[in-house]
């Protein structure tokens, strides 16, 4: 226990730190109540040591835990360490945009750096989609198939079979069809995402 010139201020500061998950008005109210209590207790027991009065008030963590419980789950302003908040909360648009843009980039910059960035976007988008909390496992699998696996397979087959066999306009049309598939799959994923979490 470190000694301090002002144990009351240290105590209230500890409560304030612990109470950062409380809404500001509740936090202020709690601190005011405790400060009043200390003031009144000191006035009534002039001989008592301040350490004893603070010890009777108890552990700041226990007080704040009670305050959080009394405030109800809705009153929490930000997630504490024990809050049931899903991990890896990425906005659902991020993987969808990355997956769709991957092909668009390849189309707009066909030589450099389109293909490289496109592949990176596709991989990152697929990973983000798989780890996202916004979709069920089945929808994630469908989404990854439609937005990453199928386009990659089509492009792979395309490259292996030789690009010379089709005219530029044919290649453009094929890209457009794939892009439409990506856009539709992304739109579907966007529509079936979970909007309410927890």
Partner 1 sequence: MEPGDSTKQARAAAQLRKGVLEYCVLALMRDRPRYGVELLHALGESGALATGQGTVYPLLSRLRRDDLVATTWQESASGPPRRYYALTDSGRAALDEFTRVWPGFRDAVDAFLTASPPSPGDHS
Q: Which residues bind partner 1 (CB under 8 A)?
A: 15, 26, 29-30, 33-34, 36-37, 39-44, 56-60, 62-63, 66-67, 69-71
CB of 33 to partner 1, least distance (A): 4
Q: Report the residue number, 62 or 192, with the smaller CB distance to partner 1.
A: 62
Q: Report the residue number, 30 or 105, with the smaller CB distance to partner 1.
A: 30
Q: DSSP per residue over 89-137, as a string?
A: ---THHHHHHHHHHHHHHHHSTTTTHHHHHHHHHHHHHHHHHH-SSS-H
The 3 state secondary structure assigned to 33-51 is: HHHHHHHHHHHHCCCCCHH
Q: Helices 24-44 and 60-71 sit at what angle, rounded to 10 degrees?
A: 130
CB of 84 to partner 1, least distance (A): 21
Q: Report the residue number, 39 or 172, with the smaller CB distance to partner 1.
A: 39
Structure tokens of 190? Answer: 């966007």
Q: Report the residue number, 42 or 89, with the smaller CB distance to partner 1.
A: 42
CB of 16 to partner 1, least distance (A): 13
């Amino acid at each position: 226990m470190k000694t301090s010139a002002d144990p009351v201020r240290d105590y209230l500061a500890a409560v304030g730190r612990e109470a950062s998950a409380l809404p500001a008005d509740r936090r202020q109210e709690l601190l005011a109540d405790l400060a009043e209590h200390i003031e009144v207790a000191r006035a009534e027991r002039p001989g008592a040591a301040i350490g004893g009065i603070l010890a009777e008030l108890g552990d700041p963590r226990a007080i704040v835990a009670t305050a959080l419980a009394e405030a109800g789950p809705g009153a929490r302003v930000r997630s504490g360490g024990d809050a049931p908040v899903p991990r890896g909360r990425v906005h659902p648009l991020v993987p969808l945009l990355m997956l769709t843009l991957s092909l668009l980039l390849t189309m707009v910059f066909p030589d450099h750096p389109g293909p490289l960035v496109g592949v990176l976007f596709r991989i990152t988008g697929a990973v983000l989609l798989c780890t996202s909390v916004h979709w069920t496992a089945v929808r994630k699998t469908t989404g990854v198939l439609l937005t990453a696996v199928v386009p990659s397979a089509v492009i792979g087959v395309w490259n292996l079979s030789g690009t010379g066999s089709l005219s530029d306009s044919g290649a453009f049309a094929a890209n457009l069809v794939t892009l439409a598939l990506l856009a539709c799959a992304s739109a579907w994923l966007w529509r079936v995402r979970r909007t309410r979490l927890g």
